[in-house]
Amino acid sequence: MKKIKLIVEIEVEDHLNSDGDIAELTSNVLDAIVFAADHEGIVPEESETYTRKITVSNNITNSWYSKDLIKNVNEQKSEILYVLSKNAINGIELDEDIQDNEFFEYKIIERKDFIETLFDWISEAKSTDMELMKDDLTLLLDVKDEYILSSINTNSYLYEGCSEFNENCEELLKLNEFVK
C-alpha cells in the first residue's frame, strides 16, 4: 500500500460564512472524489491497482473527512427500492398527519439543512450532548443522500444502504395508505 498526498486549492468568489460551510465544502470535495473513484476510477487506466481510501482535510478548521472504498467482497449491498424527497417516498407524497401527530418513528428530513442545525446546536451544547452531536455530524457528513429518515425520539438516522432503510420506507408507505 502506498499513500499519495495531493494538494488541491479551491478558490471561492466570496468568503464562506461559517466553519459549517467549510466543513460542508470539505465533505463535498470528498464526495466528488469518491464518486469519481466509484464510477470512472481515479488511478491510471492501465494500472493494476485500485483506490483503497480517500481523506480530505482543510487548513481552516483543521478538520478531515475520510472514506474507505474497499468493501468486503462477501458483503451484499442492499438493493435500493425507495428514494426519498421532500415529504415523499418514490414520488408518493406522505400525509402531513403522519409527521404532525408522530404516527411513525421516523420522519423525512433534508440532510444538509439538518447538518447546519447540528452546527448551531453544537455551538450551544453542554459537553456530553456535544459529543453525541459531533458523532451525528460525522455520520451525516459521510452520507450522500439529500433526504434521510430521522428518528423523532432518538438520534437514529436511516438512509439508502442502511439495513433497515427499505423496511421503514415500506412501513411508512403502508401507514400513508391507511391514514389517507
pLDDT, tens digit (0-9, with 9 covering 90-100), for 4-52: 777 788 888 887 777 778 778 877 887 787 777 766 667 777 777 777 7
Q: Are residues 93 and 49 part of one domain?
A: no
What pTM did the predictor assign?
A: 0.56
- Residue 177 buriedness (CB in 10 A; 0-12 / 13-18 / 19+): exposed
Q: How confident is the model at residue 72 (pLDDT cuts 50, 70, 90)?
A: very low
Q: How confident is the model at residue 155 (pLDDT cuts 50, 70, 90)?
A: confident
Domain contains 31: yes
Q: Which three cell numbers stand for residue 87?
A: 415529504
Q: In this predicted structure, what is the pLDDT of residue 94?
A: 94
Q: In this predicted structure, what is the pLDDT of residue 77?
A: 44
Q: In this predicted structure, what is the pLDDT of residue 19?
A: 75
* Residue of 43, 44, 40 whose CA lies nearest to 52: 43
Does residue 55 register a pLDDT over 90? no
Q: Are residues 54 and 34 part of one domain?
A: yes
Q: Write out the residue range of the structural domain in which residue 96 sits.
A: 84-179
Q: Are residues 68 and 118 part of one domain?
A: no
- Residue 130 buriedness (CB in 10 A; 0-12 / 13-18 / 19+): middle
Q: Are residues 20 and 62 part of one domain?
A: yes
Q: Which of 40-44, 126-130, 140-144 has the lowest mean pLDDT?
A: 40-44
Q: Are residues 96 and 166 part of one domain?
A: yes
Domain count, the chain: 2
Q: Are residues 107 and 67 part of one domain?
A: no
Q: Are residues 118 and 56 part of one domain?
A: no
Regarding beta strands 64-68 and 53-57, do their DSSP bridges make them parallel or antiparallel, or are they unpaired? Answer: antiparallel
Q: Which three cell numbers stand for residue 19?
A: 466553519
- DSSP summary character for residue 77: P
Q: In this predicted structure, what is the pLDDT of residue 24?
A: 80
141 and 58 Cβ atoms separated by less than 8 Å: no
Q: Are residues 94 and 68 part of one domain?
A: no
Q: Are residues 88 and 56 part of one domain?
A: no
